[in-house]
């Protein structure tokens, strides 16, 4: 596959287990309209939340090879489970490439923002089982402020419910109420949404948590970090107009397009189906 001769013209690659990462891509498209993007949703292997660390690391490395082959200049892991399990392995792999591609994940930006936001030193985390079990958010929060308490709550049913189309019915409300109950009991004043699917039900979460609880999502904070990374490496696209964005998925392209349009709040256009496999080192 041919690549632009100017590295600044290469796309930013973003991936997630499904369509949830489109909430991150939306922020990137708004903040960096001049950039090109390629997004891969691993919908054939969704959900990631109950996978082992070994599986998640293997999935992430397979996806990275696919996106490197498509000329990525920066890799954004818009999946909390994959960030928590595979970020070190991804960074080690990307450093082996000719251009030394940077890898950014969603955990640290959210943790730093939450520490800045909290007033009483009690932060809640809603995330998948894999993300909670990894301890990645606890490490990131305590690295930012060792005196802050983190209350993690695994919510295995929420991401699949949202991926399925998140009908705002009583079943979804009960899933959210059950997840939020331990956080209310713990008296947290800030909640990290540790899954990129969760912002789609943010109004429901805010209502149940109450207006005094700050909700932290990954999109805006990660978009600022991406902008900084491009600037520091002189990789920002110099064009004045809008860039392009395109989509890949490992499952049903039509289902991805239909649901993805609701997540991205922009038209998706054609979605290409890909079959992931190990590739030669770039």
Tell me which residues are annotated as active site.
79, 195
Sequence-distant (≥ 6) Cβ neighbours of residue 261 within 8 angstroms: 267, 268
56 within 8 A of 31, measured Cβ to Cβ? no
Q: In which order are the strands placed within the sheet that holds 190-194? A: 149-154, 122-127, 190-194, 214-216
First and final CA of the chain: distance in angstroms? 12
What does the angle CA 197 – CA 199 – CA 205 come to, to the nearest 5 degrees?
Answer: 115
Q: Name residue, tokens 């997630």.
A: 16
Torsion angle, CA of 194/199/204/206, rounded to 10 degrees?
Answer: 70
| Per-position b or e across 231-248, b if 16+ CB within 10 A of its CB | eebebbbeeeeebebbbb
């Amino acid at each position: 596959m041919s690549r632009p001769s100017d590295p600044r013209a290469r796309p930013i690659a973003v991936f997630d287990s499904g369509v949830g990462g489109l909430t991150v891509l939306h922020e990137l498209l708004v903040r960096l309209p001049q950039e090109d993007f390629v997004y891969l949703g691993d919908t054939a292997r969704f959900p990631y939340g109950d996978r082992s660390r070994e599986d998640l690391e293997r999935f992430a490395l397979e996806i990275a090879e696919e996106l490197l082959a498509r000329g990525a200049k920066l890799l954004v892991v818009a999946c909390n489970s994959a960030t928590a399990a595979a970020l070190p392995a991804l960074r080690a792999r990307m450093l082996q490439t000719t251009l030394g591609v940077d890898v950014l994940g969603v955990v640290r930006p959210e943790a730093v923002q939450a520490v800045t936001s909290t007033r009483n030193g009690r932060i809640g985390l809603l995330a998948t089982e894999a993300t909670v079990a990894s301890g990645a958010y606890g490490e990131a929060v305590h690295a930012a402020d060792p005196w802050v308490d983190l209350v993690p709550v695994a919510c295995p049913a929420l991401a699949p419910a949202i991926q399925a189309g998140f009908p705002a019915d009583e079943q979804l409300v009960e899933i959210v109420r059950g997840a939020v109950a331990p956080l209310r009991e713990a008296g947290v004043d800030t909640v990290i949404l540790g899954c990129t699917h969760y912002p789609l039900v943010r109004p429901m979460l805010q209502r149940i948590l109450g207006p005094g609880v700050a909700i932290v999502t990954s999109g805006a904070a990660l978009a600022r970090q991406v902008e900084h990374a491009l600037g520091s490496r002189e990789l920002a696209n110099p064009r004045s107009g809008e860039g392009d964005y395109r989509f890949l998925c490992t499952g049903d392209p039509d289902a991805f397009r239909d649901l993805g349009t609701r997540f991205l709040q922009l038209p998706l256009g054609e979605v290409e189906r890909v079959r992931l496999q190990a590739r030669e080192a770039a």
